[in-house]
Structure 1
Amino acid sequence: MKAAALMLLCLLSTAALAVEPGERLAPWTLLDQHDVPYTLSEQTRVLLVARDMDGAKLVNTALEDKPKGYLEQRQAIFLADVSRMPRIIATLFALPKMRDYNYRILLDRDARIAPRYPAGEGEVLLLRLDGLQVVSQQALTNTDDLRQALEALASTDSQ
């Protein structure tokens, strides 16, 4: 009985964290892979969130052939939850590799921010924002869909 009550409580607390269209996001600040701070602001139009390595790989694959500044042109940022990565692996291998990427990765090293966003295993959550208010959200599970969604941002922003 206690286990069932605990499970129900966990499910309810997860549902309470889900982001809904119309909701206003609270600003936060994280460091990127170069230890440069970034604060979520009203100018941010797109927030990409990956909660695991598979989700982060989707973003990397989608952006690997894109020029530097591709996300910035779309007023987009990428938030990666790296809290489950062992510190020694992050320090010796992952961070040096991330520093070579031509896009900014905001690193949630302590799972302070990423759990606010309902990105599932192996997916990327794309939140469209207007002045920190959520306009829409889309869970993407493959590279082609993510590329198309990012390209669509460019065409809608130029109109």
Structure 2
Amino acid sequence: MKMAIHLIFFILAGIPAFAVQSGDILPSFKIQNQFEEPAELNAETKWIIFSSDMKAAKILTEYLNENAKNFDLSKTLIISDISKMPALVSKMFAIPKMKKYNFKLALDKEGDVTKAWPRQEGTILVIKVDQLKVESTENLTTAETVSSFFKEKFK
């Protein structure tokens, strides 16, 4: 029995805790957006809006394509993990389509930058930061919650 408990503990200890919590300091980074321009998480960033799957990305994209012009997103990093997408598909189809978006989207093509961030299918993770320090997190799962978030936080 003790051996089983030790084995379970050993296995669980090897599983990374995917969490971003209030008080955490996020490392700054630079990647590219869909236009191959630099996209950066730095001390001036106030909001991170992260989608890790197609369902979440679709909800966010549909809203921002219609409404991005109504908000000042200059201190907001909108980022998507596209590492699961085959490179040929992203290069030939997805990224050219993304170039038609009405907002800039940072692309984590390798999945390295966002690997420790929490992921839940169909969920957009919003992280409020100040000087790279996490102040709060919020999960958005519907078009309505996305709309409410932007109308409330980006007045």
Cα displacement string for residues 37-79 of structure 1 (whole angstroms, at most 9, x for unaligned residues): 1221111111011111111111112212114473525x21211
Cα displacement string for residues 8-50 of structure 1 (whole angstroms, at most 9, x for unaligned residues): 2454x1x2x4111011111011100000012211111110111
1:136 is aligned to: 136
RMSD of aligned residue pairs (Cα, Å) = 2.0
The DSSP-based 3-state class of the residue aligned with 1:56 is helix
Q: CA deviation at 1:130?
A: 1.2
The DSSP-based 3-state class of the residue aligned with 1:72 is coil
State how far apart, in whole Å, the 2-side matches of 1:117 and 1:71 are: 25
The DSSP-based 3-state class of the residue aligned with 1:92 is helix
TM alignment of 1:14-53, pairs within 5 A:
15=17, 17-53=18-54
Is contact 2:72-2:154 (8 Å) kept? no
Cα displacement string for residues 72-131 of structure 1 (whole angstroms, at most 9, x for unaligned residues): 25x212110000001111111101100000101100000111122113111100001111
1:57 is aligned to: 58
1:127 is aligned to: 127
1:8 is aligned to: 12
In the comparison of the two structures, how many residue pairs are matched?
Answer: 151
Is contact 1:119-1:139 (8 Å) kept? no
Would you tell me which structure has more helix in proportion to its own residues? 1
State how far apart, in whole Å, the 2-side matches of 1:6 and 1:80 are: 32
The DSSP-based 3-state class of the residue aligned with 1:119 is coil
Percent identity over the alignment? 26
State how far apart, in whole Å, the 1-side matches of 2:42 and 2:92 are: 31
Which segments of 5 or more consecutive residues in structure 1 lack a partner in the other structure?
A: none
TM-score (norm 2): 0.87
Is contact 1:71-1:77 (8 Å) kept? no
TM-score (norm 1): 0.85
Change over 3 Å in CA distance of 1:90–1:65 after alignment to 2: same
2:80 is aligned to: 80
1:66 is aligned to: 67
1:109 is aligned to: 109
Change over 3 Å in CA distance of 1:8–1:147 after alignment to 2: same
State how far apart, in whole Å, the 1-side matches of 2:76 and 2:61 are: 14
Which segments of 5 or more consecutive residues in structure 2 lack a partner in the other structure?
A: none
